[in-house]
Amino acid sequence: MKAFLLHGAKDVRLEEKPAPEPGPGQVLLAPKFTGICGSDVHYYQHGYCGRFVPRRPFALGHEFSGEICRVGPGVQGLGVGDEVAVDPSMPCGCCRHCRSGHYNLCLAMKYFGSASCDPHLDGSLAQYVAVPAANCHVLPAGISLAQAALLEPLCVAMHAVRQVEDIAGASVLITGGGPIGQLILRVVRAFGALKVAVSDVNEFDREFALQSGANAVINPLDEAVWKSGAGYDVVFEASGVPSALANGLEVAHRGGSLVLVGTLPEEFSIPGNLIMNRQLKVLGSFRFANVFEKALALVAAGIINLDGIVTATYGFGEVPQAMQRALSKDRVMKVQVAS
């Protein structure tokens, strides 16, 4: 089969490699749509993502849907031709994190298209992927394969929102108007947030947020905004920019919460005394757990709308161009690759 392998910064190569064989409990999937995630862009731009440094070339892609081509031994309930969305997380199931329900924190987690595990697990930017049957969710009527490939980032957004006890009636600020920020916007709206503002330096992202239901948008370069006295019950930091985190802390209400979702630099300073004096709750949100089926059901029921999130689609042979487009942030929200 053909697969696009990451060799280093801005070095993604189309290569031939053996197609995987579905083992017991697995299916062979032909990916149909793959979303380019912010982590994929980090890998593409820098050759690594945070602490995840590749040791060998591998295929990116963990936001994907596809069609089952072959069924391995012992698989029940799935058949050739089924269209499915894929939960890319494969925890060990045995550690204390898994046993407590926080399997997203599993240290032995295997994740498609990530260098977080070794050996790295090839993702969906390939012609075929062997996937555990348990990770495949057959699409209900009304959900397209393109929408199904948005379920993984939607789960990231839902997991972030679930870090806060109650979002209904809350005032919310989202710093970062990229795909995750926009999905957080749609989730908090669906869950009853009263007032939602989105901050981003990119005018396109601000316009997109207004069209997606934000009450207000903020250009973070306007320093007067952060000194205006406006405050928020909950802040979601989805930009990965330290100054955005500082701005969010500045406008969080006393006793409020700030949830970290974006990939921040390893080291930077934060205003510790401000966090202490205002008794702010600073929470991390990593990947997701226990939300995939709920996300699928909410989209199928029309409670969360994914329309318009995908703004650019490229063919399988155009993966480098798709990566570059996602990196450019030039009037683009979510980029997908269609196979």
What is the per-residue pLDDT across 310-333, written as a single tens digit (0 to 9) for each?
999 999 999 999 999 999 988 999
Pairing of strands 310-315, 232-237: unpaired
Q: For the chain, what is the mean pLDDT?
A: 96
Does a cis peptide bond (omega within 30 degrees of 0) precede residue 242?
Answer: no
3-state helix, strand, coil in the chain (%, to 5): 30, 30, 40
The residue ranges of every structural domain in the chain are 2-150+306-338, 158-284
Of the chain, the percentage scoring pLDDT greater than 70 comes to 100
Q: Is the pLDDT reported for residue 142 higher than 90?
A: no
> What digits encode the pLDDT tens for the residues 174-224?
999 999 999 999 999 999 999 999 999 999 999 999 999 999 999 999 988
Given a cut of 90, is residue 263 above it in pLDDT?
A: no
* pLDDT digit string, tens, across residues 156-167: 999 999 999 899
Q: Which of 148-162, 257-271, 287-301 has the lowest mean pLDDT?
A: 257-271
* Residue 176 falls in which region: left (phi positive, over 0), alpha (psi -120 to 50) or beta: left
186 φψ region: left (φ > 0), alpha (ψ -120 to 50), beta (else)? alpha
CA neighbours within 13 Å on the CB side: how many for 151? 34
d(CA 332, CA 309): 9
Q: Report the alpha-carbon distance of residue 123 to residue 114 in Å, rounded.
A: 7
CA–CA gap between residue 240 and residue 253 (Å, rounded): 21
Amino acid at 195: K
Domain 158-284: state its class.
alpha beta
Q: What is the pLDDT of residue 300?
A: 94
Determine the CATH number of domain 2-150+306-338. 3.90.180.10
pLDDT at residue 151, as a whole number: 98
The DSSP line for 97-159 is HHHTT-GGG-TT-EETTBSSSSS-B--SSBS-EEEEGGGEEEPPTT--HHHHTTHHHHHHHHH
Q: What are phi and psi of 34, to 5 degrees?
A: -130, 125
Write out pLDDT tens, residues 79-131: 999 999 999 999 999 999 999 999 999 999 999 999 988 899 999 999 999 99
Residue 266 has pLDDT above 90, yes or no: no
Instruction: Indicate whether 267 pLDDT > 90.
Output: no
Average pLDDT over residues 24-30: 98
- pLDDT, tens only, 230-242: 899 999 999 999 9
What is the pLDDT, as a whole number, of residue 50? 80
What's the confidence (pLDDT) of residue 191?
A: 96
Is the pLDDT score of 264 beyond 90?
Answer: no
Neighbour-count burial for 67-101, b at 16+ CB within 10 Å, e otherwise? bbebbbeebeebeeebbbbbbbbbbeeebebbeee
Please name the residue that has the structure tokens 């980032």.
153
Place of tokens 């205006």: 228
pLDDT at site 124: 98
Task: Compute CA distances 164 → 12, 111, 159, whole Å.
Answer: 38, 25, 9
Do the domains 2-150+306-338 and 158-284 sit in the same CATH topology, yes or no?
no
